[in-house]
Chain A
C-alpha cells in the first residue's frame, strides 16, 4: 500500500545519545517534512526538503540535522539528545508546487531521559 513509513515507532534514549529517525515514502512526492508534536503546541516544522538534494530549516531546527538520501527517504538525526526533544515526530510528504494536502506517517514516539 502507498504511504509514508516511519521507523522506529518507539525509542527511549539517554541524554547525550544520538539517534536517526527514518522516513520512507512510495507516493512519488518530491517534498518531505519533519514535524514534532507536543501537547498544546500542535505540529511544529523542524526541517523540510522540497526535492532531492535540498533541505531547509523550519520553525524549530535547533538540535536536529536532516539528510535527503534520495527521493524516497528523508532522515532526521539528533546528535546529542536532550530531554526537551522528548516528543512525537511525524514525517509528511507533499507534491511540490501544488496545493494538494500533505500525507503523514504514524510517527515515532521518542523519550529522552
Chain B
C-alpha cells in the first residue's frame, strides 16, 4: 500500500464549478502538506502549503487538512479553464523525505 493515495481522475467540470481534490495518507508522521499544480509539459509549481489541521485559503483555493482522518483536500471555487492541469498532493515526515500522490488530472470546460 502506498503511503499517499490520490484518485487519478480524470476529472472534468464546467467552468464556474467547485472542484474538490483529495488525498489520503497512512502514516501519522506526516506533518506538512502541499498541493502542486502541473501544467502540461511543465514542472510542478507550489500552490498551497499548510501544517495544521483546518483550512487555509488563498484566493479561489482552499486547502483543508484533517489529521485525525489522515485526509487532505484542495477546493477550487469558480473554476476557470486556466485551472486545467494535474494537481499533486505532497507531504513531508521530517527533514528531506517528500512523498507525492500520483496526481489528479482536471479539465475545466468553458
Contacts and interface: CB of A to CB of B under 8 A. Distances in A.
B88 A104 contact: no
A101 B43 contact: no
Q: Is the interface on chain B under 10, 10 to 19, 20 to 34, or 35 or more residues?
A: 20 to 34
Interface residues of A, number: 23
B96 A50 contact: yes
B100 A42 contact: yes
B90 interface: yes
Interface stretch (A12-20, A63-71, A92-100): A92-100
Interface in A82-111: 90, 94, 96-97, 99, 101-107, 109
Contacts of B43: 4, 90, 104-107
A34 interface: no
A104 B8 contact: no
B85 interface: no
B46 A42 contact: no
B77 to A, nearest CB: 23
A101 B96 contact: no
Contact of A43 (B32, B42, B100): B100
B95 A97 contact: yes
Contacts of A31: 96
Nearest to A48: B96
Interface in B2-59: 6, 8, 31-32, 34, 36, 41-46, 49, 51
B95 A40 contact: no
Given A40-B8, A96-B96, A103 B46 contact: yes
Contacts of B62: none
Interface of B: 6, 8, 31-32, 34, 36, 41-46, 49, 51, 88, 90, 92, 94-96, 98, 100-103
8 nearest A-B residue pairs (beta carbon) = A42-B102, A104-B43, A99-B32, A106-B43, A43-B100, A104-B44, A101-B46, A101-B34
Given A42-B103, A43-B44, 13 more contacts: A33-B98, A41-B102, A42-B6, A42-B102, A50-B96, A94-B96, A96-B96, A99-B92, A99-B94, A99-B95, A101-B46, A101-B90, A102-B98
